[in-house]
Structure 1
Amino acid sequence: MTFATFFSRPLSAFRATLSGSKADGSDTQPPILDFTDAPPDIRLLVRNRQYAHIVRPIDGVQFDPDSLRYAWKAIDHDMAYVPGGKVTLCGEYATTSDEGFILVPQTIGTAQTESIYLDRWCVTNADYKRFVDDGGYDNLALWPEQILPSVLQFVDKTGAPGPALWSKGSPEKGTAAHPVVGVSWYEANAYAQWACKRLPTSAEWQRAGTWGKTSSDTVQESKYPWGNSFDPQYANTWASGRHQTVSVHECQGGNTPNGVRQLIGNVWEWMNTQYLLAATEEITVHTTDPMAEIRGGAFDSYFHTHTTCQSRSAQALSSRKNNVGFRCCFSATGLDPHGVLDS
C-alpha cells in the first residue's frame, strides 16, 4: 500500500509548495530534503515534516518499502535518535525565611526515559506556517475540548489565526528559519499532533542534552550539551549580545554529539510536563491556569543558572511569550529503521 491510497486530504492547496515556491512571509527556508523522484504525497509529507505518519501508521496499516525509505531518510535528516536512560531531575520548593518568600533548589529524584526521535532544531516559522495554511486552527481534532472557545483568541497582530507576533497570517520577513514564538502550549501541542509527533517530556529533553556524557550505570550529567563551562558562542543567551531570536542554523558549536541544536538558549521550549511547585506547610500555592515546564533558556536569559540542562521554569498553558517555542519528538519503541535507510 502506498501513502497515496491512504492520504485522503485534497492536495490542491499544496500545489504551490510542491512546485518549490516559498510560503508568504518566508525568505530563507530551513533545510528540507527534496525527493524529486518521490510521489507527490510523499514529497508533501517530507516538506511538512509529517513523515511520522508513515513510520507510525494509523490502525496498523503498513506502507510500501519505498514510502518507508523516503520517510526514514527524512527522519535521519531532521531528527536525532536519543537512547533511553536515567536522568536526575532537579526542582525547587517554596519556603519562608527572614528575607521573605524564597525558592530552594532540590533534587527531585531520577527518571527513566524511553528512546525517542527528537527534532534536531525547534519548529521554525516556515514549518509552523504550513500548519496554519493547512487549517490547523480550524481542525477541532487537534485541540482539547475544554479550550476550544479559546482557540478563537489565538490570533496574530491582525486577527488572523496564528502566533501572537505574526501579521496577516505570516511571520516577519527574514525570520522563516527562526524558531516560532508567541505560541501557547496548546498551539504547540496541536502542531505536534498534526505532525504525528508530540512534545517531549521534561526528562526526555534533559536526556537529549546529557546522554552522550552519561554512563549506563550512573547518572553523571554535564551542565550543557558541550560540557560544564558556559560559552556565549555556543548559545544565544543575553551574554551572546544578540538579544533576539536567531536562525536555527546558528550556534552549532553547542550541538549535542548526535546533532541536536540549540537546546540551550535562543528560545525556551514547551515541555509535555506539568509544572508543580512543592512548598512547606506554611505556604499555599495558588494558580489560576495550569502550568507546563519550559526548558533551555532564551535569548534574554541573563543568569547562566537558568540555562543549564537541569534547570527549569514554567509558563501558563495559554501564555504566548516572545521567547518560548518548541520542538517535537516521537517514541522509538517498536520502530526499526534498519534495512530501509540504504538506497
Structure 2
Amino acid sequence: MKRYVVGGIGVAGLVVLGGLAWLLNSLLLAWGTAILVAALMAGTIFYRRFQKKFSSSQCSATKATPAKSAGHAPQTKKADAGVSDSQGLAELMLEQGRYTLLLRPQIAESMAPQILTRAQEMLDDEMTLVPGGETIVGKGMNDSVDLPEHLDGRIVHVEGFYLDRYQVTNDQFQRFVDAGGYEQLALWDPEIVPAILEFVDSTGISGPRYWKNGTYLPGQAKHPVVGVCWYEAAAYARWVGKRLPTDPEWVKSGSWPVPLPGARPIQRRFPWGEAFDQNKTNLWGSGRGSTVPVDEFSDGMSVGGACQLIGNVWEWTSSRFGAWQSSSNPLILDASMRSVRGGAFDTYFEAQASCDFQSGDKAVARKRNIGFRCAIGLCDLIPDESMQAEETPAQVETQEEFAEVTQ
C-alpha cells in the first residue's frame, strides 16, 4: 500500500492536526463568548446598582421636601450650581491673568457685571492703549544705503490695539505651565505639535529652557521669561486670550508716530526720544549683565506707558523676519525666521536697540536673551466708554512738543 506524504507529514498526521485546530477554535470561541457574556452581566449589574442608587437619592430628596413640586426645586438648584461654577471659573481666570478672555463679546454676555468690571480694571492696569494710525516700518534697514526719504521704509496703517505694559514674567508663564499649557494641543500651531515634548527645562520637565524642576529660579519671579521659542510664546498668548504683536504694532507702540498733513509721520528713534540714554534701558552699556525685573528703567517707557520696549530682552513678534522691509532692498530668507525687536541686556550697539531696528531668529530658538509681550486688538473686545482709540490730552501734548523739536 502506498503512503502519501505532504511536506514530511502523513495523511493521518494531517487529520490529527485538523482535529486539534477545530477543537482549539471551539475552545477560543467558547471562552470569547463567556468573556463577552460576563462583561455584559457586569455592565448590567453596575447599571442597575447605579440606577437604584440614583432613584433612591431622588426619592430621598423628594421626601425631604414634600411641599415642593418635583419640577421646580431641582431646576433652581441646577441653575444655582451653574452660576456658581461659572463664577468660580471666572475668578480662576482672573487669578491666572486671563482677563481679556472674559472681555470678549462671546463670553462677556454671560458674565456678571462685577466680573467684567474687575477684568476691565486689570486690562487698564496691565495693558496700554495704542491708537490706530500710520507708522513707518523698515526705516532702519537701509542705513548703509543712501536712499530718498520716500524709499526709506514703508508706511503701514495699524488699527488700534492694546499692548502689555511689561514683558511676560516668569511668574506669569508659571501659571501657563501649571495649567497644563504644554499638554493643551489646541493652543499650539499644528506644525510644531510633534516637537512639543522637546520643549523642556534643564531638568527635562516641560517649561522654559533655563528653568529647573518645572519652575523658575529663586528671585526671578518678576524677570522676563526667557528660553522660550516663538511657538511657546504664541501658545501662551492664546491661552491668556491675547496674541503676539505684529511688527508694525510693535514699532508704533515704541516710536509713537506724530502724523503730519501731507507728509510722512515723524517717529522717535527710541521710546523716550531721539537721543540714546543708557540710563533708561538695560543694554550692555548699562552694566547689569543679565535680565532685571520688568518694571525697572521706568524712565525709558514709551509715550503710551509700555516699559522696556528697548533693552532687557529681545521680543518675539508675530511677523516673519524681513516681512516689512523696504521693497527697494528685498531679502530672501528662511521662512522659519521670526522677527525680534528691541535689543537685550547683552546688545552692544545702540543702533541695534532702536524702535526701527529689526532682527530675527529661528522660530524654535530658545535663547537666554529673547522673551515677549502680548497684544490684543480693540475689535476683539467688548465696546466700553473708557476704551477709546484716541490719544489722551497728555499724549497729544507730548506729540506736539516732539513735533516742534524735530521739525
TM-score by length of 1: 0.80
Letter in 1 for 2:363: L
69 and 118 in structure 1: CA distance in 2 versus 1, 3 angstrom threshold: same
Deviation at 1:5, TM superposition (A): 4.4
Decide which of 206, 223, 226 is 1:161's aligned counterpart: 206
Question: Which residue of the partner structure matches residue 51 of structure 2?
Answer: none
150 and 86 in structure 1: CA distance in 2 versus 1, 3 angstrom threshold: same
Structure 1: runs of 5 or more not aligned: 9-38, 95-101
Question: Which residue of the partner structure matches residue 240 of structure 1?
Answer: 286
Q: What is the alpha-carbon distance in structure 1 between the residues aligned to residue 258 and residue 103 of structure 2?
A: 29
More displaced, 141-150 or 104-113? 104-113
Decide which of 47, 50, 74 is 2:95's aligned counterpart: 47
Contact 2:154 2:326 in 1 (8 A): no
Is 2:298 aligned against 1:252?
yes
Deviation at 1:329, TM superposition (A): 0.8
Q: How does 1:106-117 map to 2 (within 5 A)?
A: 107-117=152-162
Letter in 2 for 1:202: D
Q: What is the alpha-carbon distance in structure 2 between the residues aligned to residue 147 and residue 201 of structure 1?
A: 20
More displaced, 271-280 or 78-87? 271-280
Deviation at 1:63, TM superposition (A): 2.5
Deviation at 1:222, TM superposition (A): 0.8
Letter in 2 for 1:268: W
Greater helix content? 2
Deviation at 1:57, TM superposition (A): 4.0
Question: Which residue of the partner structure matches residue 27 of structure 1?
Answer: none
Deviation at 1:84, TM superposition (A): 1.0
Deviation at 1:258, TM superposition (A): 2.6
Deviation at 1:87, TM superposition (A): 0.8
Is 2:227 aligned against 1:188?
no
Is 2:237 aligned against 1:176?
no
Q: What is the alpha-carbon distance in structure 2 between the residues aligned to residue 339 and residue 6 of structure 1?
A: 29
DSSP-derived class of the 1:192 partner: helix
Percent identical pairs in the alignment equals: 38
Deviation at 1:322, TM superposition (A): 0.5
Cα-to-partner distance string for 1:124-177 (whole Å, 9 max, x where unaligned): 000000000000000000112221111110000000000001111011111100
Question: Which residue of the partner structure matches residue 72 of structure 1?
Answer: 120
Cα-to-partner distance string for 1:269-312 (whole Å, 9 max, x where unaligned): 000101137799xx99463x611110000000000000011111
Decide which of 134, 137, 144 is 1:86's aligned counterpart: 134
DSSP-derived class of the 2:152 partner: strand
Letter in 1 for 2:238: Q
Letter in 2 for 1:74: M
Contact 1:92 1:103 in 2 (8 A): no
Question: Which residue of the partner structure matches residue 270 of structure 2?
Answer: 224
DSSP-derived class of the 1:76 partner: helix
Question: Which residue of the partner structure matches residue 297 of structure 1?
Answer: 343
Q: What is the alpha-carbon distance in structure 1 between the residues aligned to residue 383 and residue 326 of structure 2?
A: 44
DSSP-derived class of the 1:80 partner: strand
Question: Which residue of the partner structure matches residue 215 of structure 1?
Answer: 259
Letter in 2 for 1:310: D
284 and 67 in structure 1: CA distance in 2 versus 1, 3 angstrom threshold: closer
Question: Which residue of the partner structure matches residue 366 of structure 2?
Answer: 320
144 and 230 in structure 1: CA distance in 2 versus 1, 3 angstrom threshold: same
Decide which of 317, 328, 353 is 1:307's aligned counterpart: 353
Q: What is the alpha-carbon distance in structure 2 between the residues aligned to residue 42 and residue 230 of structure 1?
A: 44
Question: Which residue of the partner structure matches residue 57 of structure 2?
Answer: none
* Structure with larger RCO (C-alpha < 8 A, sep 6+): 1
Decide which of 138, 141, 148 is 2:193's aligned counterpart: 148
Q: What is the alpha-carbon distance in structure 2 between the residues aligned to residue 44 and residue 59 of structure 1?
A: 15
DSSP-derived class of the 1:219 partner: strand
Q: What is the alpha-carbon distance in structure 1 between the residues aligned to residue 163 and residue 293 of structure 2?
A: 18
Deviation at 1:240, TM superposition (A): 0.4
Q: What is the alpha-carbon distance in structure 2 between the residues aligned to residue 262 and residue 335 of structure 1?
A: 28
Deviation at 1:179, TM superposition (A): 0.3
67 and 305 in structure 1: CA distance in 2 versus 1, 3 angstrom threshold: same
Q: What is the alpha-carbon distance in structure 2 between the residues aligned to residue 160 and residue 182 of structure 1?
A: 13
Decide which of 262, 287, 290 is 2:308's aligned counterpart: 262
Contact 1:85 1:216 in 2 (8 A): no
DSSP-derived class of the 1:86 partner: strand
CA RMSD of aligned residues (A): 2.9
Question: Which residue of the partner structure matches residue 337 of structure 1?
Answer: 384
